[in-house]
Structure 1
Amino acid sequence: MKLLLLVTFVALAEFDYKRRSALSCPNLCSCSTESSSAEVVCSKGGLTGFPKSGLPPNTTTLSIQNTNLGRIAAGDLSAVPSLNYLQLYHTSLPSLPSDLLVSVPRLDTLDLTGNELVNLPANVFNHGSLHSLVVRNNRLVEANPAWFSDNSSLLHLDLSGNQLTSISAALLHKLPLLQTLDLDGNNLQELPADVFRSLRHLETLNLAGNKLITLKPQTFAHNLKLKHLYLQENRLQDLPANLLHRLQQLEFLLLNQNQLRHLPTGLLDGANPSLQIILTGNPWECDGKMEYLWKWLTDHRQNVPFEAEVTCDQPKTLKNLQVSSLNDSQLGVRRQ
């Protein structure tokens, strides 16, 4: 009998806790509460300030979406010390305070997609537990090394869709554990030879949608764990023959929508047998210099998605013909 009463008491206490927590939710937000955590989503029109009032104290996930928040202070987050995930998505933020994350020591993921951030203060991401940072589709013109502490624990960094014209080795030197780096859709025109040198754990690198014309031979020489390399939609005109030689784990390589006319002899020698490479949308010049790619395509058609769309642009007599369908006489290659 006593055991039954005890079980009943515990059940009622838990029910009462959930009931009271469920009643604690800011206006214009929805809350989903469990015994040890709560998820809060604020995506309703009319929210113009941080919803401090009514936030469940055990909130672990907070998502504020498509609002005119406009401003956030470090003190705002003191109401949710257990916060693990913070999303401020399209909330019209023009800036952040340097001490924004001081009161949320457990924060793992910060998503700032779609704001109006231009400049950020020093130490703004100097936060020991932060593993994933997304600052996608803002107005950043510089990625400042001062944002981070030395030996940051960051694993994923997304700076895509900004206005960056350069990325510095000094910044990436502070992020030695980085596994994913997304720089898609910026204005990068040139990369220093050693810029990725410190990223020994890097697995995914997205450089698509920039203005790169060429790459230096040693650009990826220290990224031996690289599996996914996205270089599409740049202005690449040529590539160093040894650019990929140390990337034995590379699984995906996207080179489509560039200005490549040939691939240098040896570029794909020793590549991972399962490598998938996309080559469409380049103005391939089908002459004697095409012999290396022509032979590689013939032997590795299974490695080239959309291989039928890898076609000649020049000369006019071969225009739009599938490269792998050509013969040695069309390319002007001497028979062995």
Structure 2
Amino acid sequence: MNLWLLLALIDCRQQGAQCCPDLCSCSASGAEVVCSQSSLTHFPVEDLPSYTTQLSIRSTNLSIIATSHLSAVPLLNNLHLYHNKLQSLPSDLLRGVPRLNTLDLTGNQLVHLPPNVFSHAPLRSLVLKNNLIEKADADWLPDNSSLTWLDLSGNRLTDIPSALLHKLPHLVNLDLSNNNLQELQVDTLDRLHHLESLNLAGNNLSTLKPTTFANTPQLTQLFLQENRLQELPATLLQGLQHLNLLLLNQNQLQQLPSGLLGERDSPVMVILTRNPWVCDKKMEYLWKWLSIHPQNVFFLEEVICAGPEALKRRQVASLTENELGLVKSSKIQN
């Protein structure tokens, strides 16, 4: 504990103050405060230690938060406001917390967020998961934002504006899963050169452009499951030398194009289940890849044929050349 916090804590106790709000619990130092009683309906500004650095208000009936509330804790660096009843935020909410780097608003009822709402603090982690947000706005954040983690999963987004992501050159983790995204603009990810994890699962993507990931060379994890992808460009993963996890399950893929999974020193781990794989000549690339890298396929036995009729429910990895209709080169020469 630094000297300022120690003096403030001593002063609080000397005055006989409670040093902790009703319906909340505080750490011995008073720097960490947790409020998790459903009977809490108002921000606990009274008796909230001014030297609080971590504040968690969760699973309460809190419905309003004002700039003045946070100004009472100017040293705050972590704020968790998840599973409450918040429906809106003031545009200058963070003006009084210049040290805040983590803000978690999971599980509220936020629909529309005003411009500059996250522009007054050096945020590195912003979680807006499981709200009712229909539109993401580039004006939420300043240019060259310090964010490294952005979670917008579980909302109602139909698109993600390139202008917003272009403000996040330091982003490492981006979660857009479980929205209603129809497509990604060709330049959406262009400035995310440090991105390592991208989650697009649970959307309505039916296609991806060949250069979608051309400017994200640091990607290690790519989640594309539970979309409507029918085919993938052969060069989609080109240049992703660090990719080690790829989820493609629960799409509408019938085969994979030759070369998609690339040649890496350490082959990517994949999940391919619950796709309508058509086991004919066009399955040759995936069939060979599975035979060479079975240890890199989760649930290999569940990668099964949807057609043709004679091969339905057969494991792709168990098929023979003859069953796939492949003809050996020796026979071609004859």
TM-score, normalised via structure 1 length: 0.93
Q: Which residue of 1 aligns with 2:32?
A: 39
Q: Which residue of 1 aligns with 2:332?
A: none
Structure 1 residue ranges, 4+ long, deviating more than 4 angstroms after superposition: 12-22
Q: Which residue of 2 aligns with 1:8?
A: none
**Would the aligned equivalents of 1:22 and 1:33 in 2 still touch at CA under 8 Å?**
no
Quick one: distance in 1 between partners of 2:319 and 2:12? Answer: 71
- In the alignment, does 2:147 pair up with 1:159? no
Q: Which residue of 2 aligns with 1:73?
A: 66
Match of 1:85 among 78, 85, 90: 78
The alpha-carbon deviation at position 54 of structure 1 amounts to 0.5
- In the alignment, does 2:286 pair up with 1:285? no
Match of 2:253 among 260, 270, 275: 260
Q: Which residue of 1 aligns with 2:120?
A: 127
Q: Which residue of 2 aligns with 1:326?
A: 319
- In the alignment, does 2:298 pair up with 1:308? no
Q: Which residue of 1 aligns with 2:229?
A: 236
Segments of 5+ residues of structure 2 without an aligned counterpart are 1-5, 330-334
Match of 2:186 among 190, 193, 201: 193
Q: Which residue of 2 aligns with 1:30?
A: 25
- Matched ranges for 1:74-113 at <5 A: 74-113=67-106
Quick one: distance in 1 between partners of 2:154 and 2:266? Answer: 33
Q: 1:90/1:232 Cα in 2 relative to 1: closer, same or farther (>3 Å)?
A: same
**Would the aligned equivalents of 2:103 and 2:127 in 1 still touch at CA under 8 Å?**
yes
The alpha-carbon deviation at position 270 of structure 1 amounts to 1.8
Segments of 5+ residues of structure 1 without an aligned counterpart are 1-11
2:91 partner letter? S
Secondary structure in 2 matching 1:294: helix
The alpha-carbon deviation at position 14 of structure 1 amounts to 10
Q: String of CA shifts for 1:53-84, please: whole Å, max 9, x gaps.
A: 01112111111111111101000011111101
Secondary structure in 1 matching 2:27: strand
Q: String of CA shifts for 1:2-61, please: whole Å, max 9, x gaps.
A: xxxxxxxxxx99995685699311111111132xx6111111121111100011121111
1:325 partner letter? S
1:167 partner letter? I
The alpha-carbon deviation at position 249 of structure 1 amounts to 0.3
CA RMSD, 1 decimal: 1.8
TM-score, normalised via structure 2 length: 0.93
Secondary structure in 2 matching 1:240: coil
- Paired residues in the alignment total 323
**Would the aligned equivalents of 2:229 and 2:251 in 1 still touch at CA under 8 Å?**
yes
Quick one: distance in 1 between partners of 2:9 and 2:52? Answer: 18
Quick one: distance in 2 between partners of 1:167 and 1:14? Answer: 45
1:86 partner letter? L
